[in-house]
Amino acid sequence: MSIVSLLDCTLRDGGYLNDWEFGHDNIVNIFERLVSAELDIIEIGFINESREYDANRTIFPDAVSVNRTYAGLLKGQSMIVGMIDYGTCSIEQMIPAAESFMDGIRVIFKKEKKEGAIAFCRQIKELGYQVFAQAVSITSYNDEELMDLIRLVNDLEPYAFSLVDTYGLLHKNQLMHYFEFANRHMKAEIGLGYHSHNNFQLAYANCIEVMELPHIERRVIIDGTLYGMGKSAGNAPLELLAMYMNDNLGKHYHCSQILEAIDVTMMEIYKQIPWGYSFKFFLSASKDCHPNYVTYLMDKKKLSVKSINEILDKLDDSKKLFYDVEYVERLYVEYQKCECDDVKDRRNLRGWLQGKDVLLLAPGKNVVEQSDKINSYLEAKNEEEVVKIAINFVPADIPIDAVFISNAKRYVPLSTRLSQSSGRLTTLATSNVTRASGTFDYVFNYSALLDEEALIVDNPMIMFLKLLKEAEAAHVALAGFDGYVKAAAPNYVNPNMDYSFSREKAQEINNDVISSLERLGELGFEMEYITDTLYR
């Protein structure tokens, strides 16, 4: 029967959410509560030589800095460990274990760096530390690659070797395969660890499966965090693991101390920076890919979940777990490039709009807040003679003649309304948008309207201005094209339309639109903004 140990990594893995800034008082409180709970192993943070020392953070430039934060605190019976992401800390930043507050060092490494990482582990071991070799993204290994790593581990003879399910991809059968394989081929004196993430809501259940294996006769180490705090969907909750081990494995952890740490410290952090199972992390785990791919595509606010799934299916296996923003942008653009023959529709658009006054309406807040300016413009122009076209929305209080749709996600809530208004609203769409029923009145080739030099290549304003230029409109007025602001209030009439990145990169996006307008060159028509805008 295995000897199961419980390791807490809140102060390290939890730090991904708050840049390791727990605050000194909270660091001490969490640490002392975990010691009082009699945890077997407590991980106290990262060692990364690129970071400066900050008493409020649990990421340290060197081993001496760890002593500065924790010196004088009692360890109790717990083993104290730190973590190094191989390549972020040279051996010169370490001190002998006899002079350190830490008893052990966990070294995490990617598959392609395993030889160098194991050599580094050997140097750490020579300083007197208990060494843990942590293979991140264990699902990226096939059996042959894992066997090669285990040979290196056996030669090193670390305190433990851990299977790290970085993106929470493992189901029971996969986990058992990796665990049994490692157990079968590893030296008996080396501990075997498991670090889970909760993308599939399986972190706790998987830990139980590992703890209950009847034939494992080695040291087993299970990782958890207070209230499951950790990157992506979070980790296995320490309080649940401790409770289960007390009830079923004869352990005697003081759960009241763990609960006090959660109540006093963790709940306040959770209010500010929530973590845990979410749709985004489920989606990334279901496609065996880095969650940043899903975040990037969802932040576009232009794709249905079906479309996101189809793009994720195109990820090359070698790219799935190693996020590449330029790569996913190329996949996105290629996916959107649904080619069509739009010669007839372009000719018909010209026949309709040539020599006309056109009012373009966007869903910026000013389309509502400055509606008086829009009404004044229409009265001065004779409303009946102005063609009113809304972009990716239908305004509540302004009768329009047509709607231009370039955003598949924004089309979804509009589809019913457009179906009910059949015959009254002309529908214009780009070829990447599929109508729920029937056909659009005009369909234009999506790829031909892109500005490949822009930050946002498919800005709908630029796309439609290109069409108006070709159609030879006489005059174009724009309302609701506000631009992006950093204020806390949403940029759009419907807050659900807001881009999560817009307030961080507001000015960059505004400048990008201005540059796109400059690239359009001579439009051939007069253009004016009738509501306030940041695009000039």
pLDDT value, residue 493? 47
- Mind listing the pLDDT tens digit for each residue in 54-86? 999 999 999 999 999 999 999 999 999 999 999
In-domain check, residue 277: no
- Please check whether residue 292 lies inside any domain of the structure: yes
User: Is 36 in contact with 28 (CB distance < 8 Å)?
Assistant: no
Is there a domain that residue 281 lies in?
no
| Number of domains making up the chain | 3
CATH number for position 256: 3.20.20.70
The CATH number covering residue 509 comes to 3.40.50
304 and 429 part of one domain: no
- Residues 308 and 323: their CA atoms lie apart, in Å, by 16
Q: Are residues 263 and 193 located together in one domain of the fold? A: yes
Residues of the chain with pLDDT under 50: 493, 495-502
CA-closest candidate to residue 58, choices 95, 12, 99? 12
Same domain, 386 and 309: no
Same domain, 383 and 449: yes
pLDDT of residue 504: 58
Residue ending a domain, among 295, 314, 336, is 336
Domain assignment of residue 413, yes or no: yes
Same domain, 314 and 352: no
Q: Which of 244, 272, 300 represents a domain boundary (last residue)?
A: 272
Residues 328 and 475 both lie in one domain: no
C-alpha–C-alpha distance, residues 430 and 276, integer Å: 37
Per-residue pLDDT tens over the stretch 359-404:
999 999 999 999 999 999 998 888 778 999 999 998 888 899 999 9
CA 133 to chain centroid: 26
Burial class (CB in 10 A: 0-12, 13-18, 19+), 458: buried
pLDDT digits (tens, 9 = 90+) for 162-172: 999 988 999 99
Q: Is residue 279 part of a domain?
A: no
Is 293 in the same domain as 228? no
Residues 322 and 217 in one domain: no
Percent of the chain with pLDDT strictly greater than 90: 68
- Same domain? For 159 and 109 the reply is yes
**Residue that terminates a domain, selected from 237, 272, 307:** 272
Are 462 and 505 contained in the same domain?
Answer: yes
Pair 7, 220: CB distance under 8 Å: no
Residue 200 inside a domain? The answer is: yes
Give the Cα separation of 246 and 448 in Å (integer). 65
Contact 209, 176 (CB under 8 A): yes
- Provide the domain limits for residue 252: 3-272
* Domain-embedded: residue 305: yes
CB 533 within 8 A of CB 482: yes
> Does one domain contain both 115 and 177?
yes
Domain assignment present for residue 250? The answer is yes
Asked if 395 and 512 touch (Cβ cutoff 8 Å), the reply is: no
**Residues 406 and 301 placed together within one structural domain of the fold:** no
- Cα distance between residue 403 and residue 388, in whole Å: 9
Measure the N-to-C terminal CA separation of the chain; round to a whole number of Å: 72
